[in-house]
Amino acid sequence: MGIYLDHSATTYVDKKVLAKMTQCYSETFGNTSSQHSYGRDAEKGVGAARAQVADAIGASPGEIYFTSGGTESDNWAIKGVAKFARKGHIITTGIEHRAVLDTCKYLEAKGFSITYLPVDAFGAVRADDVEKALQDDTILISIMFANNEVGTINPMAQIGQIAKKHGVLFHTDAVQAVGHVPIDVSAIGIDLLSLSAHKFYGPKGVGALYIKNGTNIEKIIHGGSHEKGMRAGTLNSPGIVGLGAAISLATEVMDNEFVKEAALAKRLKDALLQLPKAKYNGHPDDRLPGNVNISFDGIEAEALMLHLDLEGIAVSTGSACSSGSTNPSYVLKEMGCTIEQARAAVRFTIGRCNTTKDIDTAAKKTKSIVEKLRALSPLFADKGEKNV
Amino acid sequence: MGIYLDHSATTYVDKKVLAKMTQCYSETFGNTSSQHSYGRDAEKGVGAARAQVADAIGASPGEIYFTSGGTESDNWAIKGVAKFARKGHIITTGIEHRAVLDTCKYLEAKGFSITYLPVDAFGAVRADDVEKALQDDTILISIMFANNEVGTINPMAQIGQIAKKHGVLFHTDAVQAVGHVPIDVSAIGIDLLSLSAHKFYGPKGVGALYIKNGTNIEKIIHGGSHEKGMRAGTLNSPGIVGLGAAISLATEVMDNEFVKEAALAKRLKDALLQLPKAKYNGHPDDRLPGNVNISFDGIEAEALMLHLDLEGIAVSTGSACSSGSTNPSYVLKEMGCTIEQARAAVRFTIGRCNTTKDIDTAAKKTKSIVEKLRALSPLFADKGEKNV
Amino acid sequence: MYNEKVLQHFKDPHNVGTMENPDGYGEVGSSECGDTMKMYIKVDDNKITDIKYQTYGCCAAIASSSIATDMALGKTIEEAQAMSKMDIVQELGGLPEKKIHCSLLAEDALKEAIKDYKSK
Amino acid sequence: MYNEKVLQHFKDPHNVGTMENPDGYGEVGSSECGDTMKMYIKVDDNKITDIKYQTYGCCAAIASSSIATDMALGKTIEEAQAMSKMDIVQELGGLPEKKIHCSLLAEDALKEAIKDYKSK
Ligand SMILES: Cc1ncc(COP(=O)(O)O)c(C=O)c1O
Ligand SMILES: Cc1ncc(COP(=O)(O)O)c(C=O)c1O
């Protein structure tokens, strides 16, 4: 068996969650729009899931709309608000997931103006910058809860207050955060929140958008009166039941998991930073518990990733050498990393199944591969410098 | 165990299909964008599914794009072509699924002009009408393969020829047809085809859009380079694997199933038409094999449906008395039915699991409930007339 | 969506039928949804001593007719006249919100029948 | 995405290292993706008798360097000079399309080293 350290990319589905889904695929398989018992049973499952999702983020069930995943939720939140407003200004950051960035670029081409806020060296947005960027015609602030590459958590409460004070809608892409850190939409003052089941041991292809009651937003998928007429399409009831079960379970084990993952992450970080010229990326404390992101000077991340893969260890790299040009992580570049540092960055994301032994094995293998690749590299000369 | 006769609403997932999906949810669960072995294994599954879908409809794998279901595919096909063209005229019919109709209405509000073609008494579009409706600025013909309420199949080959002759793109919502009747997109001349797994014993929440190579279409979900940059979002690999397995299986058993379902449908129809004043809706021959749609004069379909439900038999009704107004099936109205006939229409859709015994039980129960409801009804007086 | 009591009345509705020479007769059609009801009452000593009806409509309309006639039977004309659709819905233990209007049919038909009786 | 042979060369690249007093030395950097390679050759009787290199780059760059040096070893200067990136890709049994450009690094470095040798 391999060692999976790429839980931010996706997770396996928890056994208990899968059992609920299986039951739904074969028995309570009705269409929730049907009025007979098959339909009513399916609707019961969806209703329970809606309550589970609402509970997990401090919303009410009527504010939860199911989607096909985080990307659709992000598209809906941003395009939906923009369509309702017809024109205006949107504030986001330079380190958003492409589901947010590409949607903003699309709207920019359609005449909306967009501010892409910078981040500090740790990858966090400054709340001050948000307030300064506000314009008379600002219709939306869209800032991610936690970054997918470096795990840094943004100052959500402060941004929420600013949004509320100025009466501007606040959307957050919380795809990486939900199920891992506590979230209360009403305490923070969030109007729209995107989440996706496959990031917390639920199924792929199902997510949700929290829409605070009374929010001015249009739909983006037409046809049928599903989801109060806001999102057409036969409900993916097995997936939704899986989402509900997964979010409940994640909430239940959150505190323990946080402590466990943070401890494993510290262990991995400490071991890897024994290597010379290894740079730890992201915030030291305000970050997702399982995320460790390190740039190893003089190596190319893909090479390290593939070597680890050959040893059965799965990690990820932000950059990828493809189509004749390297695309080093724009997140790391925004944080002020050099291109070389960005190309040398590897992300380890620890999850529910990982053990101390996994971490020790991964650390040991990583160290020897880094040394091997550095020996191969014309760029690296260990001059015994300290880590930065 | 109940008798499920609502297979056009949705199907259970076939056991063999589910086994493949389960494996994917727990073992080959990687993100297809990941370059390590977990990602590559997931990508292998998706690639195989893409080939299975392509094979089933006579396309090549590079022309298959996975979506969250039939509704998204319909939205994408129509809005995607409209966005690319920027303006123009679209031809569709008055009996499309709401995923098509509502999308067309949305575009109409945005300045596109739409022709909603009428249908004949059997529910079929006349190819002549399509040709006559063409304008210089027609950008798209969108006509469903088979109707979801009455099962009538449209003259696809003729429409395909007209589209080709005039160089207009041809989209078909084949959600009800795929997996049940043979389809060859290149022989017919289809440019865009929507399909959805949960209509042929695959999972809900996953579908595909066939886009013929070279078709001018824009994306509607932004972010990420998935699906050649045309549909962002982490691929629902277990769902896609299920779609692939389901479409292969459906193709394999299609001929036998067609014969079996058509025979059961005839048996049910013959039994029910023994009742006086029962009107058979839809085409006698050119229809989906398992579809039987009948209006029983003097009864309200919802009442019949619920009585059958109490007996463990699941059927569906086009009309529903809701929100203070009855919405009798617009499909039946387009076919020339009276409002009373539309309100009295019940749809039985036979599927893979149904037996002769199921049909006989359903027929017997339906007959006695219809008689009971007619006795209760002030509208019905059996004057011994013949069925129409 | 419907509770047990509603389904019970729907499945085996009470007081179904017509009446020869009723003391009062009412016929109403809902303009909203096409439901139709005919109601027949027999009145003795200012009390409703027999009641029959026919209903064309959905489950909510049928169940409302059944329970409304149960409720009216034995009541004085004044008591019966005071019955509202919300009384009917309450007696049924509730109806889905979208279906509440369906119970108006029974209220209206009963009122029509009483009006007819009084006019004689 | 990578075939077995590519992965084998990537995992255990051949001819890695530097050389004291090489007969030819080439250093190239890909402007496209930042990959860098240093190549050292020893030439005897117009034949490449020893070859060493260092590469910074992805799997494709490393595997190409490894197999290209294997191929060049023992070849005459003229034969080595005639090697193209497609020869390297072919010898590797193919590379993903997006990665084909990565093998140019080895071709270029080898050509630079030969040029340096000839200029002496
Ligand atoms: C921060 C963030 N936003 C959005 C997404 C997209 O979610 P999904 O994969 O469910 O479409 C992801 C993950 O892929 C993510 O990490
Ligand atoms: C003809 C037709 N088109 C589109 C759809 C929508 O597909 P989905 O339920 O997968 O969104 C359906 C079924 O619901 C249908 O019958």
Rounded CA separation B91/B116 (Å)? 6
Domain containing A264 — which CATH number? 3.90.1150.10
Whether C99 has a pLDDT exceeding 90, the answer reads no
B205 close to B239: Cβ distance less than 8 angstroms: yes
Kindly state whether residues B276 and B308 are assigned to the same domain: yes
What is the per-residue pLDDT for D97? Answer: 86
Of A322, A325, A376, the CB nearest to D62: A376
Asked if the Cβ–Cβ distance from B376 to C7 is below 8 Å, we say: no
> What would the pLDDT profile of B212-240 be if each residue is shown by its tens digit?
999 999 999 999 889 999 999 999 999 99
Kindly state whether residues B169 and B299 are assigned to the same domain: no
Whether B382 has a pLDDT exceeding 70, the answer reads no
> What would the pLDDT profile of B236-267 be if each residue is shown by its tens digit?
999 999 999 999 999 999 999 999 999 999 99
A101-107: average pLDDT? 97
- Burial (CB count <10 Å: 0-12, 13-18, 19+), residue B388: exposed
Report the Cα C72 to chain-centroid distance in Å: 8
Of the candidates B267, B276, B314, the residue with the CA atom closest to the CA atom of residue B295: B276
Touching C: B residues 311-370, CB under 8 Å: 321-326, 339-340, 343
Bridge partners for B349 per DSSP: B6, B291
Domain containing B166 — which CATH number? 3.40.640.10
Domain containing D65 — which CATH number? 3.90.1010.10
What is the per-residue pLDDT for A381? Answer: 66
Query: In the structure encoding, which two tokens stand for residue B323, read together?
Result: 């929100």
> What would the pLDDT profile of A206-234 be if each residue is shown by its tens digit?
999 999 999 999 999 999 889 999 999 99
CA separation, residue B342 to residues A130, B147, B306, B319, B320 (Å): 57, 15, 17, 7, 10
B298 close to B277: Cβ distance less than 8 angstroms: yes
Of the candidates A54, A64, A67, A32, the residue with the CA atom closest to the CA atom of residue A220: A67
Whether A1 has a pLDDT exceeding 60, the answer reads yes
C32 confidence band (pLDDT: 50, 70, 90): low
Residue A137, Ramachandran bin (φ over 0: left; ψ between -120 and 50: alpha; else beta): alpha
B147 close to B95: Cβ distance less than 8 angstroms: yes
Tell me the three state secondary structure of residue A322.
Answer: strand
Interchain CB contact of A6 with D (< 8 Å): no
Residue A382 lies in a domain: no
Kindly state whether residues B243 and B322 are assigned to the same domain: no
Rounded CA separation B41/B45 (Å)? 7
Give chain A's domain count. Answer: 2
Interchain CB contact of C86 with B (< 8 Å): no
B39 close to B32: Cβ distance less than 8 angstroms: yes
Boundary of a domain, candidates B194, B215, B250: B250
What is the per-residue pLDDT for A324? Answer: 39
Residue B309 lies in a domain: yes
The secondary structure of residue B163, as a DSSP letter, is H
Residue of B nearest to C36 (CA): B378
Boundary of a domain, candidates A232, A250, A268: A250
Q: Which residues, other chains included, contact B194 with Cβ-Cβ below 8 Å and sequence gap of 6+?
A: B70, B73, B74, B77, B99, B171, B172, B173, B174, B175, B207, B208, B209
What is the per-residue pLDDT for B123? Answer: 97
B42-62: average pLDDT? 98
Averaged pLDDT score across all residues of chain B = 94
CA angle, corner B260, sides to B258 and B261, nearest 5? 65
What is the per-residue pLDDT for A382? Answer: 52
> What would the pLDDT profile of A280-313 be if each residue is shown by its tens digit?
999 999 999 999 999 999 999 999 999 999 999 9
Kindly state whether residues A60 and A107 are assigned to the same domain: yes
| Angle between helix B237-272 and B15-26 (nearest 10) | 160
D99 confidence band (pLDDT: 50, 70, 90): confident
Of the candidates B185, B141, B186, B187, the residue with the CA atom closest to the CA atom of residue B162: B141
Residue B385 lies in a domain: no
User: What percent of chain A lies above the pLDDT cut of 70?
Assistant: 95
Residue A387 lies in a domain: no
> What would the pLDDT profile of A158-207 be if each residue is shown by its tens digit?
999 999 999 999 999 999 999 999 999 999 999 999 999 999 999 999 99
**C and D touching (3 or more beta-carbon pairs closer than 8 Å):** no
Q: How far is A300 from chain D (nearest CA, A)?
A: 5
Kindly state whether residues A282 and A239 are assigned to the same domain: no
Residue B379 lies in a domain: no
Kindly state whether residues A89 and A204 are assigned to the same domain: yes
Asked if the Cβ–Cβ distance from A205 to B68 is below 8 Å, we say: yes
DSSP secondary structure string, B173-241?
A: E-TTTTTTS---HHHHT-SEEEEEGGGTTS-TT-EEEEE-TT-----SS-SS-HHHHTS-S---HHHHH
Atom 15 of ligand 2, nearest CA residue = B175
Which domain, by its residues, includes A225? 15-250
Sheet holding B316-317, edge to edge: B278-281, B291-296, B345-349, B316-317
**Residues of B annotated as part of the active site:** 321
Rounded CA separation A370/A304 (Å)? 7
Atom of ligand 1 nearest to the CA of A69: 10
Residue matched to tokens 């075939």: D3
Q: Where are the beta strands (DSSP E) in A48-153?
A: 64-67, 89-93, 113-117, 138-142
- Burial (CB count <10 Å: 0-12, 13-18, 19+), residue A105: middle
Rounded CA separation D79/B331 (Å)? 75
Taking the CA of B239 as reference, the closest ligand is: 2
Of the candidates B294, B202, B196, the residue with the CA atom closest to the CA atom of residue B242: B202
Q: Ligand 2: distance of its center to the CA of A233 in Å?
A: 7
Give chain C's domain count. Answer: 1
> What would the pLDDT profile of A50-61 be if each residue is shown by its tens digit?
999 999 999 999
Kindly state whether residues A237 and A283 are assigned to the same domain: no
Boundary of a domain, candidates A250, A285, A313: A250
Residue of B nearest to A106 (CA): B222
Query: In the structure encoding, which two tokens stand for residue A337, read together?
Result: 């990393």
Rounded CA separation A281/B259 (Å)? 64
A316 phi and psi angles, rounded to 5 deg: -135, 160
Whether A379 has a pLDDT exceeding 90, the answer reads no
Rounded CA separation B387/B146 (Å)? 25
Kindly state whether residues B231 and B284 are assigned to the same domain: no
Whether B234 is in the pocket of ligand 1, judged by its Cβ within 6 Å, is yes
Whether A327 has a pLDDT exceeding 80, the answer reads no
Taking the CA of B195 as reference, the closest ligand is: 2
Rounded CA separation D74/A384 (Å)? 38
Kindly state whether residues A131 and A199 are assigned to the same domain: yes
Query: In the structure encoding, which two tokens stand for residue A208, read together?
Result: 């949700």
C17-31: average pLDDT? 90
> What would the pLDDT profile of D38-72 be if each residue is shown by its tens digit?
999 999 999 999 999 999 988 999 999 999 999 99
D63-91: average pLDDT? 95
Residue B335 lies in a domain: yes
Q: How far is D95 from chain A (nearest CA, A)?
A: 12
What is the per-residue pLDDT for B173? Answer: 98
Rounded CA separation D10/D5 (Å)? 8
Kindly state whether residues B113 and B242 are assigned to the same domain: yes
What is the per-residue pLDDT for B322? Answer: 44
Residue matched to tokens 């094995």: A361
Of A321, A376, A380, the CB nearest to D102: A321
Residue B384 lies in a domain: no
Pick from A24, A204, A218, A313 the residue to mutate for testing the B interface (most B CBs within 10 Å): A204
A116 phi and psi angles, rounded to 5 deg: -100, 100
Which domain, by its residues, includes D32? 4-119
Residue A306 lies in a domain: yes
Rounded CA separation B350/D76 (Å)? 76
Kindly state whether residues B304 and B331 are assigned to the same domain: yes
What is the per-residue pLDDT for C58? Answer: 87
Kindly state whether residues A246 and A274 are assigned to the same domain: no
